[in-house]
Structure 1
Amino acid sequence: MTSPHPQKDRADAAPGPISEQAFIDMQRSPEFGELRSKFRNFSFPLSIAFLVWYFAYVLLSTYAEDFMKTPVFGHVNLGILLGLLQFVTTFGITWAYIRHANKNLDPIATKLRTELEEGRQ
């Protein structure tokens, strides 16, 4: 017979909480440093590059109206194309981050989480 409270049953079966010291020790471990380094080495440069690209677009839209009005084809001008490229860039960065995280971050994070959870038992 199944329990009417599956959440409560799982909580009763779970081991105790992870100690604060275990988190501190994990944070000081070389594996955690590697995880943080891989995250920062990917996300910081990409974030800076995107912000530069975004602000360049905003500044061009504000101060270089004639440049942004340059026709490309039909009624489509450079401003519209650059604006659409903002969306393309956002999706490209998201795709690149997911690939990076799946390949470089998730295996280390999973290992660290497993070690933390096994250490509390």
Structure 2
Amino acid sequence: MQRRAISGNPEFQTLKRAQHRSGVAMAAIAVGGFLLYVLLSSFTPGLMNSSLSGHLTLGLALGLGQFVLMAVIARRYVVHMRTRVDPVARGFRTQLHRPTAEGPGRTAQHPSVPRPRTEEYRTW
């Protein structure tokens, strides 16, 4: 199957939209969390300086929480790609590299003959 045929395939378009939508949603959550932290630090310093335990303040806990948020988002993105996007992308890659007849009088290259390396669709 040719690359143009795959890129015009409705299932491929759905795959690309799902990949884009999940990336945008997770980026929005990350930016939103950081923006919330900055706004709270700017406009509610008394709240952010309130002590939770010993020298641990709410601001420090929320700042450290940014690392946790990024780790959760990154993990969720990897799981999403592995479970929903990669299997479909592998199917398209298989279709793309499946040997086919090149036209009248031509046959596909024998499987034991190495094919030249071409650009692949990558999900990551």
Q: Distance in 2 between matches of 1:107 and 1:35?
A: 10
Output aligned runs, 1:76-95, within 5 Å: 76-95=56-75
Aligned counterpart, 1:58: 38
Q: CA deviation at 1:92?
A: 0.5
Deviating runs (4+, > 4 A) in structure 1?
none
CA RMSD of aligned residues (A): 1.9
Tell me how many residue pairs correspond in the alignment: 101
Secondary structure at 2:14 match in 1: helix
Q: Distance in 1 between matches of 2:20 and 2:50?
A: 38
Question: Which residue type is aligned with residue 43 of structure 1?
Answer: G
Question: Which residue type is aligned with residue 16 of structure 2?
Answer: R
Q: Which runs of 5+ in 2 are unaligned?
A: 101-107, 109-124
Contact kept in structure 1, 2:26 and 2:77, CA below 8 Å? no
Q: Which runs of 5+ in 1 are unaligned?
A: 1-17
Q: Which has the higher contact order (CA 8 A, sep 6+)?
A: 1
Q: CA deviation at 1:59?
A: 1.8
Aligned counterpart, 2:112: none
Q: Distance in 2 between matches of 1:72 and 1:119?
A: 64
Q: CA deviation at 1:119?
A: 5.3
Contact kept in structure 1, 2:47 and 2:58, CA below 8 Å? yes
Q: TM-score, normalised by structure 2?
A: 0.72
Aligned counterpart, 1:34: 14
Aligned counterpart, 1:108: 88
Question: Which residue type is aligned with residue 40 of structure 1?
Answer: H
Aligned counterpart, 2:28: 48
- Are 2:105 and 1:96 equivalent residues in the alignment? no
Q: CA deviation at 1:94?
A: 1.1
Q: Distance in 2 between matches of 1:89 and 1:37?
A: 24
Q: Deviations over 1:45-98 (max 9, x none)?
A: 222122111111112222322111011110000011001110001111111111
Q: TM-score, normalised by structure 1?
A: 0.74
User: Which protein is richer in helix relative to its size?
Assistant: 1
